[in-house]
Structures are given as structure tokens and as C-alpha cells.
Structure 1
Amino acid sequence: MEEDSLQKYFENFTSCLVALSGGRDSAAVLKLAVEFLGKENVFAATCVNFNVFLYEIENARRIADYFKVPWIPFYTNQSHEFLKNPKDKCYYCKKEVLKTLTVIKDKYGLDIIFDGTNTDDLKDYRPGMKALHEYSVRSPLLENNFGKKFAAEETSFLQKIGVHFTVESCAATRIMEQEITLDLLRKIELTENSLRYRYPTIRIRVLKNKIKVEFKNKISLTKNDKEIIREKINKYFDVPIITIQS
């Protein structure tokens, strides 16, 4: 039944550009697009701005290579509104990304832009979704009532080519009480890179005078674990307070 529904859905399109973030959801969309439209009708593009984790960019490259579709990395302008770090910064970021994706889509004569938005995303505050409507982006998972569980099932086999899905949110979301700068983004990247594979889903939240360590999934930490985390943070940040939420 799922396959029949997806077949009918994809019959509305002849070609597409997949906004491939390097996370599970957009990887699942790329897989479906290749299956139902054929790899010759599918392109993938990935934003490689400094707020995107390097491991996710590498994920995207490997995923596109696995499915044998053209992969286009691109930069965007980071708007003044985004760098000011308002609550709805994701909208300003997404708007610039989609503006560039639209240029790429038109350049190659593709039918539509697909992204990885799914039913689970509706549970969170996601101001970037407004931009999806403004640029007529389609979301195959959401429109077919699929969530993250479906995406995880569809992409689990990618581990065999060295793709590891972990954080799936950009570094700018870690900066809580100040403007977004390249220096802060790089420090967050380096710190999380040094801890990510030992402590999956770790998130380094940067506040004005302290670092708050969180985990998307509950984790049990020993005293030694906390010492290791503090040591790595102190390598890149000079802050008086570090709190670790396990």
C-alpha cells in the first residue's frame, strides 16, 4: 500500500532537486526520488555554509555518490537578520538556501525542489517551514504522512558506506544569547566533533557566560565522562561555568 501511494505521488513529477542536508530525512527523500523518478532525473544539492556541520556535508556527498546522482555543494549569503540571532533565525537561513536552490533547479531545468520535512517536524517550532511555502518546495515524507521512523528505516543501510546520522541540526542553533559569528560556529564544530562519537546527540549550548551541555537522547554519564567533556570544552572556550545535563 505504501509503495502504491508513493508511486501515485511521484507520478506528478518528472525530475527533481533534493535539498540534501546529510541527515536521515532528506536521505530518505533522495532514495525515494531515485526509486520512482530514476537517477537520471534526480539532482542533489547541499548548503555548505559555516553553520552546517562538516560531517553532515560529508554524509551528503557520500549519499549522493551512492545513489549516483549529481551532487552540488553551494554557499549562500548569510543575511543580517540571521546573524542577529532572532528566535526565527531559521526562517532567514532557509529563505537564502531556498533562493539558491531555486536558481540551481532552474539552471538544470528540473521540475521541483524536494526537502525532508516530515510529520514529526510538525511537533516542533520550525519557523523555516514558512520559507518552504514561499518557494513552493514539496515534502514527500510529510505529504505521504511519514515521520522520522520511516526515514530511519529507509536509510539504515547507508551505515555500510560510512554514513553516520547523529545531530541533524545546524551549529547556529547552539548559540543562545548573542550574535552568530564564524568564530563561535567553528568552536562549536570543533568541540562537538571531538565528543560526538563517544557521546552521540551531544549539543554544546553557548550562553553569554557559560556553556550548557545537553543530549538529545537521555544518557548516563560518569564523573570521568563529565571530566572528559569539560576538558574538551575548555580547549576551545574560556567560560566560567559549564553545566552538563545528562
Structure 2
Amino acid sequence: MLTDKLTQLQTIFKQMERALIAYSGGIDSTLVAKVAYDVLGDRALGVTAVSPSLLPEELEDAKIQAATIGISHELVNTHEMDNPNYTSNPVNRCYFCKSELHDTLKPLALKRGYPYVVDGLNADDLQDYRPGIQAAKERGARSPLVEVGITKLEVRQLSQGLGLPWWDKPAQPCLSSRFPYGEEITIEKLQRVGRAEIYLRNLGYHNLRVRSQGDTARIELAPEKIKEFVATTDLDKLVAKLQELGFIYVTLDLEGYRSGKLNQEIVGKNVANTLS
């Protein structure tokens, strides 16, 4: 029962007594922050990492959501872009990102008297290739949603049941996930992709990605939205806008958006991650 899982989640925080939440503003970490605050009150702290891979709009959402919940909220700067192991974009790029995140959060937590750093990893995340899980595990972070076995769908159901207005918010991983492995990541490229996605959101499309490969932008939309997009969008204006941002070619992925699509190129290789 979903109510039983919520009770188990609450029990975890009661046992922690104090917790620092790695709070991105996404639906998963926001649910964790909500439950942590409901249980711990001012003994829970949400901390958002700010870097070029986070859309400014996502940061503003995180601030608004934290204020709505009531949880104390702070920002810290992370510097993964200074690490060539990250910017060279290897298949384990996420490991170096999460290493930087937790190497920043863990000392902060200990300094402030929080014995636990908690993230928003959910049970479904274990089914995808996510090397960052290992980095968090190595640094002692806990993942209550995984510990209870809460899936992405259940995150949304619990969020809706708790009255969180963003329960159906689309997933929004860091902008670095828009680049094929092996293509160097730069601040300029991140900003280009981010502005392109904002432009498309302003057209009314929210569950989307703009994948970047060299000078090409590949737009991914929800499959059921593709025909509407082609029929109603001023394509010449769209192309001109994305070329203004720095792309040369603008394409539409006819398969549509699918989470983790860039990982399909490494399926079958000897990569794995677990929390066991």
C-alpha cells in the first residue's frame, strides 16, 4: 500500500533526527524534502547545487517549491566544470558530477550538525545506467525512496496526495545529459541547449529535450505531440531562433522523447550500478 510506504519514509526521517537534503527541485528530491520537513521541521535543510548545468528556471522553481513546503533552503556552488574528467563527457560523467556534489554537501552537513545527506534517487533509477549512484554511495549518502522501494509513478502519486502542485512536473535532468558521450561539454554549449529548451517550453511543450551533437540540435517531444508540433509551429521561425543560438542544423526526432535515450549506445556493455 502506498500509505504504508509513506509511513516507512516518515519513519526513516524520525530515526535520522536531522538531515540535509540534496535538493535539485525535481519531483523526487522535492517529495523527499517535503516529507523530511513534515517530520523534522527546522531540523531538515534543503541544499541546491548551482552550476552551469542547471537551468536558471529550474533554480527558480526549486526556490519557490522550497518556500511553499516551508523547508530551510540554501544554495551552494559546485565546480564540476573545472574537472576534465567531467567536461570530456565519458560514459561515467555522472560519477564525477555526483562526486563533486557530495564532496561539497558532506562537509557542509557535518559542519552544520547534520549526520545524514539524503538524495532523491527512486527505485526506477536503478534500472538505468547511472554511475553517479556509486559516487553518492561511496560518500555515505542515503536514498530513502530506494530504501522504501518507491517508484517514479509512486513519487507522483504521493506528491499529489500530499497536495504538492508540481506532482506532474516533467523530469529535468542536468543539461549535460543532452550531449552524446565523448563530446566535450562547455558552458557555452550548456547555455545554448538551455535557451533552446526554454524557447520550446514557451511554445507550450514541456516534456521535451533538445539533444546537441556538434552543430546539430535534435528536438525530442512526447510522441503524441509530434504531429501537432509540425502542424502548428512556425518552423522557419523555430529554425532561425535555434540558429541564432548557435546551432547550424535543426532536426526533429521522429521516435520522440524517451528518458535515458542517450544510454542506448552503451546498452550491452559491461556497465552496472546498484545500491547493494
TM, length-normalised to structure 2:
0.81
| RMSD (Å), alpha carbons | 2.1
Shift of 1:145: 0.7
Q: Residues of 1 paired with 2:231 and 2:10: CA distance? A: 52
Does the aligned pair in 1 maintain the 2:10–2:36 contact within 8 Å?
no
User: 1:55 corresponds to which residue?
Assistant: 57
Compared with structure 1, are the counterparts of its residues 220 and 133 closer, same or farther at alpha carbon in structure 2 (3 Å cutoff)? same
The unaligned stretches of length 5 or more in structure 1 are: none
User: 1:232 corresponds to which residue?
Assistant: 241
Percentage of matched positions with identical amino acids: 27
Q: Residues of 2 paired with 1:164 and 1:153: CA distance? A: 9
Shift of 1:84: 0.7
Q: Residues of 1 paired with 2:111 and 2:199: CA distance? A: 39
| Structure 1 letter corresponding to 2:242 | I
| Structure 2 letter corresponding to 1:238 | F
User: 2:85 corresponds to which residue?
Assistant: 81
Q: Are 1:242 and 2:242 an aligned pair?
A: no
1:79-109 Cα deviation digits (max 9, x unpaired): 1100111111111011001111112201211
- Give the alignment partner of residue 130 of structure 1, picking from 122, 129, 134: 134
Does the aligned pair in 1 maintain the 2:109–2:116 contact within 8 Å?
yes
Does the aligned pair in 1 maintain the 2:95–2:131 contact within 8 Å?
yes
What pairs up with 1:1-246 in 2 under 5 angstroms?
1-36=4-39, 38-78=40-80, 79-156=83-160, 157-159=163-165, 165-176=169-180, 178-197=183-202, 198-215=204-221, 218-221=224-227, 222-225=230-233, 227=235, 229-240=238-249, 242-245=251-254, 246=256
| Secondary structure of the corresponding residue to residue 60 of structure 2 | helix
| Secondary structure of the corresponding residue to residue 70 of structure 2 | coil
| Secondary structure of the corresponding residue to residue 11 of structure 1 | helix
Shift of 1:164: 7.6
Does the aligned pair in 2 maintain the 1:167–1:202 contact within 8 Å?
no
Does the aligned pair in 1 maintain the 2:10–2:35 contact within 8 Å?
no
TM, length-normalised to structure 1:
0.90
| Secondary structure of the corresponding residue to residue 28 of structure 2 | helix
Does the aligned pair in 2 maintain the 1:201–1:217 contact within 8 Å?
no
Identify which range, 231-240 or 114-123, moves more after superposition: 231-240
Does the aligned pair in 1 maintain the 2:28–2:120 contact within 8 Å?
yes
Does the aligned pair in 1 maintain the 2:13–2:19 contact within 8 Å?
no
Shift of 1:218: 4.4
1:144-196 Cα deviation digits (max 9, x unpaired): 01011122123343338xx9822411111112252111111111111111112
Q: Residues of 2 paired with 1:71 and 1:194: CA distance? A: 28
Compared with structure 1, are the counterparts of its residues 134 and 218 closer, same or farther at alpha carbon in structure 2 (3 Å cutoff)? farther
The unaligned stretches of length 5 or more in structure 2 are: 257-276
